[in-house]
Structures are given as C-alpha cells and as structure tokens.
Structure 1
C-alpha cells in the first residue's frame, strides 16, 4: 500500500507540522507527528506516552522530590531539581551555586498566582499546558526562567485565531 498524496512527503510533512504547531493550539487538540524511522514507505516511532504524566505524578506525590516551591510565603509543592535544571538554564545555574545540605527552595514572587506557578511547573514536566489561564504571567515566568518553548506557546496563545479553511486544506493534503 502506497500513500497517494505523499510522493514528496518530507516537505509536505514539515509544512504540516509547522502549521499544526501554530493552528491547532486554538482547537485544544494535540497532534504528535514524528518521522524517526522508515520501513519502505512507512514511517513510525515507538514511544511511551505515559512517562511525562508519570514524572508529574511523582512530583505531586512527593516521590524523591528535592526542591520546595513557594509563591511568596505559601508552599505550593515539591518538585525534582533535575527536571527544573533540564528545562530552565536560569534554575540550573541557581542550583549549581547552592550546597546540597537539605531540600532546595525556589521562591516565586507573590505577584504570581499559585495556579499559574503550578501550570508553569506542569509545563516544565510535561511540555503541555493544563490551562491557558494566566497566559501573561506564564509568559513572564517563561521569560524570567528562559523556557523558550513556553515563551513560544504563550506567543501563539496571544496570536489571532487560525483560518479554519486553511487548516482543513492542510489536513486534507495529508
């Protein structure tokens, strides 16, 4: 079986992925299209989709956490230093300056809503947003902690809605 519309699939697939990153976010849908390996004219990737939610669950269940998160004087939750360090160069640098004696503490200014900080942390763990509430504050956090992917997502959320006809055409081309 051969795909009819994908003779020049690499260029079309790249164009499709780029357009979906911008257009689908408004429809609250997730598409994860990755081209990794090839068998004949079939492309595939085997992936465990559950690992991101498992990491987030480990944080919310306080399993092996080593960082306490505060908003002002309110303790929000505990998280894993390795995750924060991997996702934010600012946090990585700040953790490198602290001696390991007990749990680290990261304090966000009281101006940030607790739920927005939780959403920020969830994004660091999973790469997705649970809510688009507080996009302005999320954008501020993304800028402060140099989380480039979240900055891009926040820019998309503030952009104009996509043209439904154009999106439909891209989906039909596949």
Structure 2
C-alpha cells in the first residue's frame, strides 16, 4: 500500500481523503492532518455498513484544549456521476477521542470514494476559563482595540476631532486627517506633498468606493475596524490597498480570503486573485476547484466563468485539470 493511500489533502478548512478501494471487513486510519492548531485523523471501518470517524490526535493540547468543532462531512463516490452522501451539519461538537463522532454510512459504496470534511468553525477553551472562542476569528482587530493610543486615534476619526481633509465617496463624504493618511499610504503622502488638487482643495475623491466601504477603509487605517465589517468589505478593501499601496491591508485581505474559500465564492476569488496578483489565493482556488473536485459541483457557474474570464486564467485552470487527470 502506498503512502498516498493514507494521506489527507487539506486547505485551511477543508480536508479530503481519497480511498482507492476498501474491501469488506477492512479498517483504515489516515495519516495525521492539520486543521487549525490540532492534528486530526479520519478512519473508516467496513463491515455491514461503513463507519467513518473524525477525531483529534491525542496530545497535551487535545487534553487541555479539546476542539469544539462545527463541520459538514460527506462521502463522495468518485466514479460515475459522483454521488455524494452528507451527514447533517454538526454544530459545536466537543471532540476528544475516536468515539466522539462516528457516522454509520448505510449506503453501499464500491470502488473509489472520497471522505470530505468541511470545518465551519473550530473553537477552543480560553486559558482564563472564559467562554470558548473561535480560532478562525481574526485577532488583529481586538489587539488594536485594546491599545489606548489606538482608541484615542480612533476617536479622532469617529468624533471628527480636528479633521483637515474631506473624502468624497460615490454616495457621501467623511472627514479625515492628512497626517494619518500620509503615514499609512505613500500615495496619500505624495498627494499632500505636491501641489495637486487634493492638497489645494483639501479633498480626496474616491468615486469607486461607497461611503460604507470608505468608512471601513478609514476605520482600518485608524485601527478601529470591527471584524464583521472587515469581512463584509474585504474585496473593496483589497481594491483600496492595491490602489493606495497599503501593503499590510493587502496582506491582511489576502490571508483572510484564503481562510473561507467555498463553492459560493471560489470563482469570484479566483478572478480577484488574478486581477490583484495574489498567487497563493489563485492557486488555492484552482486546487479547490480541481484537486478537490468542486468544479463538478458548480458546473453552471463554471460555464459562465469560461465565457467571461481572462483567457490566460482559464488556461491555468485547464492546465491543472490535465495534471490532476494524469495523476488520478
């Protein structure tokens, strides 16, 4: 048996175990795979029915901080028309050992099949005995809000304290501070250092952003953006980061967009990754579509993508399709 028979392929929240063949009365356990901060295992046992188990690897981390998992698990037949059988969504299940989640799949499976786990959330207990918190939540916002200096900086924006520049978005205006904008963006700094319209009229026109997105953009620059607002405006923030050369915002958006790729957003993210030259996001989207077989689940959307997307990007996707077919 080759090592590949036990290997589980993963993205940040998705795990797939491809099983070539499982004879009757057979037990198989996967190699460990990492999701979040835990190592995990899948195991299958075939008797009268197929038993699938998901559990974390036993360690000090598991004993002291066992994961509280929300996930969807599926078994997908990889022959014929790729029939999929899904367990009802698991919500906030405490997992400590290999008996905490057992799924009896009573539908007979023959030949190749795939076990797929999509982690919707992973929580861990706080060392201070507080409520469990999600490890997927982006902690950069809370850390900034805890700093008194940044709280004061945020008040300058929210209370309009001595603003000296007006930003005109597509549907509204908001006051800001030249010094803060210049410190955060070399493009803004250049505007204020030369005799440009922005310096003379004390205004910046940003017609390609709504006032709501512009407010989120300024909140990020001032260190007071809330996590849910960041998630809501990620693509607009990515555009602003590229336009105004704000590398930390670009990197933050990039990492966040990698974190929750799914069938509803993968094609949009693939095109944005190509547009903004985000190689890691682009390859993650392509692998999600090709390596994990999601291209079959969104055929109509993918056909629309083929009609409208950049030709070079389509060629990259089909190159990965050919490579995958050769290796399977």
Misfit runs of 4+, over 2 Å: 28-32, 98-103, 127-130
Per the alignment, in what secondary structure is the counterpart of residue 86 of structure 1?
Answer: helix
Kept in 1: contact 2:153–2:222 (CA 8 A): yes
Cα deviation, residue 85, structure 1: 0.1
Alignment deviations for residues 136-168 of structure 1 (CA, whole Å, 9 cap, x no partner): 11100000000100000100111035xxxxxxx
> Which of residues 126, 151, 155 is equivalent to 2:254?
155
Higher strand proportion (structure 1 or 2): 2
Alignment deviations for residues 76-120 of structure 1 (CA, whole Å, 9 cap, x no partner): x111100000000000001112379876101111x3221111111
Larger RCO of the pair (alpha carbons < 8 Å, separation 6+) = 1
> RMSD of the alignment, in Å?
2.7
Alignment match, 2:149: 51
Alignment match, 1:71: 169
Give the number of equivalent residue pairs: 121
Higher helix proportion (structure 1 or 2): 1
After alignment, is 121-130 or 82-91 more displaced?
121-130
In 1: Cα distance, 2:155 partner to 2:252 partner: 23
Q: 1:1-174, aligned counterparts within 5 Å?
A: 26-30=136-140, 49-72=147-170, 74-75=172-173, 77-98=174-195, 104-109=202-207, 111-126=208-223, 128-130=225-227, 131=229, 132-161=231-260
In 1: Cα distance, 2:199 partner to 2:256 partner: 40
> CA, structure 1 residues 160+102, in 2 after alignment: closer, same or farther (shift >3 Å)?
closer
TM-score, scaled relative to structure 1: 0.60
In 2: Cα distance, 1:125 partner to 1:62 partner: 13
Per the alignment, in what secondary structure is the counterpart of residue 154 of structure 2?
Answer: helix
Please identify the structure whose Cα radius of gyration is greater. Answer: 2
Unaligned runs of 5+ in 2: 1-133, 261-328
Alignment deviations for residues 25-56 of structure 1 (CA, whole Å, 9 cap, x no partner): 83243575xxxxxxxxxxxxxxx811112112
Unaligned runs of 5+ in 1: 1-23, 33-47, 162-174
After alignment, is 152-161 or 88-97 more displaced?
152-161
In 2: Cα distance, 1:150 partner to 1:112 partner: 16
